[in-house]
Amino acid sequence: MRTCRKFAHFDPLTGEVPYWPYPELGDSVGRARRLLSKCSHEEIHHLASVANDVITEYFALALHLEVSRLLTEGREDFLDVDAQGWILGIDPERVAELDFPRPENTSEADALQADSTVWPDVFGETPSVQVLSRCLAALALAHVGDAIHRLHYQYDFEKLEYVHQQAKKLQPYDYIVSGQAALAAMAAVDRAERLLEGRGVLEAADEHPKPVTPPASTEGAIAEEQMSSARPADGAERRIEHARHMAAQSLRNRNASREAVLAEWDRDRALQGLSRAKAGLRLSQWLARQDLEFFEPRTVAAWIAVHEKSLEGRR
């Protein structure tokens, strides 16, 4: 997600939405705000942040599964390896030859809904339908913020910041990026409404949400229940279904590695004084020496970020 996910240039509750060149933005905003009518600014910011964490972790886990598959099949020629022999990921020049979920072929709304394995890390429990729909609504508003940022903000090299321009001279790429954001916003709010309508809990803006508790189930069944309103209909969603199934199978080993890494981070104050990237690198190297499944530094850094936020919420 980009920096305007923090709504730096668009107030999610009261911000005005331009009509041109995409009048659909206003409709997406109105529908998303209806779903978030009981939420404050702070709550919407938090929902957008949670969505960002879950989506980031989803793609990191999908990448890890693909790297593991390539190693198992002896296809090291697809991997990006540094001089010390550390696997950095997949060779950028060959990633297009592979078929696994990544931002280039999977929407953020799909990733957010599909990754049931990450939700407990963020919330401590599997989310209710209302929580998931509100995260999708916040994601829609974040996409609108992206579109507005591209349409009306220009970087000022003297002020070293983005400044608002009512009549910005748009380039072809501005139209492409803002149009993609507008479509993503519509897709996210459509998904949020379908989740609630499918369970008969879409309320008017002035009504209190009805509680919905997912039934006790195995991890695989929870994942199946969350995707029941969006069955795979094309290649992209089939890839998501496959990655979600693989993620559920590998969840036990992944959680063991994650718990060990975070316990080591909690124990070592020197690690806590480092940036997340540096701590992720050191802990990834530490993990490689343990009898646990290995995860790359970027994934470990994402675990630390979520863990720090959970600790801040308890204070």
Q: Token digits for 5? A: 């996910």
Per-residue pLDDT of the chain (315 residues; tens, 9 = 90+): 443 456 888 999 999 999 999 999 999 999 999 999 989 998 999 898 888 888 888 888 888 888 888 888 888 889 887 776 677 778 888 988 998 999 889 999 998 888 665 666 656 667 788 889 999 999 999 999 999 999 999 888 888 888 898 888 888 989 999 999 999 999 999 999 998 887 665 543 334 443 333 333 333 333 343 333 333 344 445 544 544 454 445 556 777 888 899 999 999 999 999 988 889 889 988 988 887 878 778 778 878 887 887 777 655
Please give the Cα distance from 109 to 90 (Å, whole number): 24
Contact between 176 and 150 under an 8 Å Cβ cutoff? The reply is no
SS3 state at 45: helix
Task: Identify the CA nearest to 108 among candidates 223, 188, 3.
Answer: 188
Please name the helix (run of DSSP H) or strand (run of DSSP E) that holds residue 214, with its range, or none: none
Alpha helices in 7-116 (DSSP H): 24-35, 41-72, 108-114
pLDDT at 55: 86
Please give the Cα distance from 150 to 178 (Å, whole number): 6
Please give the Cα distance from 81 to 85 (Å, whole number): 6
Please give the Cα distance from 163 to 138 (Å, whole number): 24
Please give the Cα distance from 185 to 277 (Å, whole number): 30
Instruction: Please name the amino acid found at residue 117.
Output: T
pLDDT at 308: 83
pLDDT at 121: 61
Sign of CA dihedral 29, 32, 36, 40: negative
Contact between 15 and 26 under an 8 Å Cβ cutoff? The reply is no
Please give the Cα distance from 215 to 51 (Å, whole number): 23
Please give the Cα distance from 282 to 301 (Å, whole number): 10
pLDDT at 129: 87
Per-residue burial over 107-130, b if 16 or more Cβ lie within 10 Å, else e, is bbbbbbbbbbbbbebbeeebbbbb
**CB-based contacts of 251, cutoff 8 Å, min separation 6:** 117, 219
Q: Token digits for 150? A: 């591209």
